Amino acid sequence: MNFFERQAAARRTSTRLIVLFSLAVIGIVLAVDLAMFVVFGGGAGGLALTTLVTLAIIGFGSLYRIASLRGGGEPVALQFGGVPVPESATDTKLRRLRNVVEEIAIASGVPVPKIYVLEHEAGINAFAAGYSPSDAVIAVTRGALEQLNRDELQGVIAHEFSHVLNGDMRLNIRLIGVLFGILMLGLIGRKILQHGGGSRGRGAGAVLIAALVALAVGYIGLFFGRMIKAGVSRTRESLADASAVQFTRQTSGLAGALKKIAASEGGSALSQRGDAEEVSHMLFGDGVGFSGLFATHPPLLQRIQALEPSFRADDLEQLRRRYRATPPSASDETPTGRTAAERHPSIPNPIPIPAIVLPAAAAQLNLTPPMVAAQVAQPSPDDYRRADSIAASIPDDLRELAKQRDAVIPLLLGLLLDTEPQVKAKQRTEIQARLGADAATAADRLKVERLDPLHPMLRLPLAAVAFPVLRLRPRPELDAFMDTVHAVVNTDGRVSLFEYCLGRLLEVQVRESLDPSRYARFGRRKTGNVKQEFATLLSVVAQAGHEDAAAAQRAYLAGMQRVLPRDHVPYAPPSEGVLALDAAWEPLDALDPLAKQVMVEAITAAVSHDGRVTVAEAELLRTICGALHCPLPPMLERS
């Protein structure tokens, strides 16, 4: 499945989750009614009251837990005692973790997520949490840092990024909130027994019986909850393993991590068992120890054999004996016990693949609409190598500015400034009015001295690296930043399409990071419901890429033929230029996932109609797709 098919599958799974939750609620209500009727008797009125109380407890429990997770992935990481990894970490293992996460984020075309370490967890595990890539958190255990080498850590992080990209992360965090409700009765019964079990007096017996009934019914809720998590999670974990291998194009890293979990004494177990059960469906490895019907992950041996079919149970036992003698460590580069030459029998002395050189800014790319659509959220090994080259190519002083709280806002605003002096002067006025003269001067200086000469392929990655630091600013400052971005890109219709779209992308990411749950959704609109929005977007794109009006019209028609082949919507470039897109973004972003695939193909057809796609045009395509939650990797033309 590609990105759009997996998004559609995630939406269907969300629907199935609602059905399963409803069935679980019905089962719990019937169990409570039956228990209360047997113990206390009563007529229809009493049963109706019991039903309403039960539904209220379940509903309020779910709403409470969902509300507690409104902040996205960060509350989940903090629940486990997660410690944020600073941007300027000096510890070698933390630096390695941040480098791997940044490279995979750049290769995926999404902002760098927040990174947490669960310092008190010695097992090998990790999870991704959040509603969207803009508020995503990647958390790994200290055990993973201490025991996994770089390839293995890369495989684990790539696995978690597949959850970020495919909609699993959003589904998983909602699953926590929904299932909490059906566990509420058991929690209430347990608390009553703990704090009121020794009470005396009138009604004490009835309260005790009610608590026992609630506790018994709570186990029914626990059963349903575990079954739902297992049913939702197992298949998606297998898909995440496959995506991680597709991404890194080497099975040894991910397989090595799984082998260390299977063979080491601590495995993937988490010490906070109660919390671990709540998030068991989110973890890289089983953190609780469930098996059979309740297992949220396929068996470890099965996962390993999917990556290395020749691996057998005897090999696993041999590894266990080895790790009992010498526990695994991050310096262990050959977890299977084989030498590097044995892992690569066709290469006597394997050497690192050289980094890919960035293409010239004026280079022409060969792109086709289906090829680009197939690459959405599907990074390849070339993308990972390109991400490494891109990260290394960002000038050191700009990377340093991207890590500084006071410098990140002028840096991002500098990316939005126009090259036309008159337009830039108006933009400076807008910045000064909202953020002060110092911010306007700093943004202008960075634009002239450092950002104008920057390679086009480095602008989006620089913004991605800067985004985690931007999110650390207080909300009032972020609100002012978003207001400034909107004013800068809407100065007048002469702002370039790339600058306008980059501004939109920044607005989307900041908005989603501030209120994650509000903007998390799977779209449902069909292409026929957004005809005028398609026409506006394709008109603006075609006009921006072609100076000749006739050529622009042909490019527009090529795009419309992809998305609305049976409709005739005439080419009519909006008089307000790029600002006409303000009304088009939200309807287009609300498209059904499979309709978005057609939309990406249509935009690509318009951009590439003249047979010439420059690096700058490819970056514009990536920016538009990013603003519409269809992240593209940095290398659109595969090598």
Among 102, 121, 160, 617, the active-site one is 160
Q: For residue 125, with 0-12 CB atoms within 10 Å meaning exposed, 13-18 middle and 19 or more buried, which class applies?
A: buried
For 317-326, which contacts have Cβ atoms below 8 Å and span 24 or more sequence positions? 319/259, 319/262, 319/263, 320/263, 322/263, 323/260, 323/263, 323/264, 323/265, 324/265
Task: Give DSSP secondary structure letters for 512-578.
Answer: HHHSGGGG-----B-GGGGHHHHHHHHHHHHHHH-SSHHHHHHHHHHHHHHH-TT--------TTGG
Rounded to 10°, the helix 408-416/497-514 angle is 140
Pairing of strands 114-118, 137-141: parallel
Residues 6+ apart with CB under 8 A from 478: 470, 471, 510, 514
Task: Give DSSP secondary structure letters for 71-140.
Answer: TTHHHHHHHTT-EEPPTT--SHHHHHHHHHHHHHHHHHTSPPPEEEEETT--S--EEEE-SSGGG-EEEE
Catalytic residue status for 160: yes
Residue with tokens 């469906």: 281
Residues 6+ apart with CB under 8 A from 389: 355, 356, 357, 358
End-to-end CA distance of the chain: 22
Residue with tokens 């293992």: 93
Structure tokens at 182: 């059906």
Nearest residue to 411 (alpha-carbon basis) of 449, 368, 364, 456? 449
Structure tokens at 531: 């005809």
How many other CB atoms sit within 10 Å of the CB of residue 296?
A: 24
SS3 call for 449: helix
Q: What is the CA radius of gyration of the chain?
A: 27
> CA 14, CA 521: separation in Å to the nearest integer?
10
Residues 6+ apart with CB under 8 A from 479: none
Structure tokens at 253: 């890293």
Pairing of strands 137-141, 364-365: unpaired
C-beta of residue 635 within 8 angstroms of C-beta of residue 371: no
Pairing of strands 126-129, 364-365: unpaired
> CA 482, CA 488: separation in Å to the nearest integer?
10
> CA 245, CA 307: separation in Å to the nearest integer?
8
| CA distances in angstroms from 18 to 103, 124, 590, 608, listed in the order given | 36, 32, 21, 42
C-beta of residue 610 within 8 angstroms of C-beta of residue 546: yes
- Tell whether the torsion through CA atoms of 577, 608, 450 and 404 is positive or negative: positive
Q: Catalytic residue numbers?
A: 160
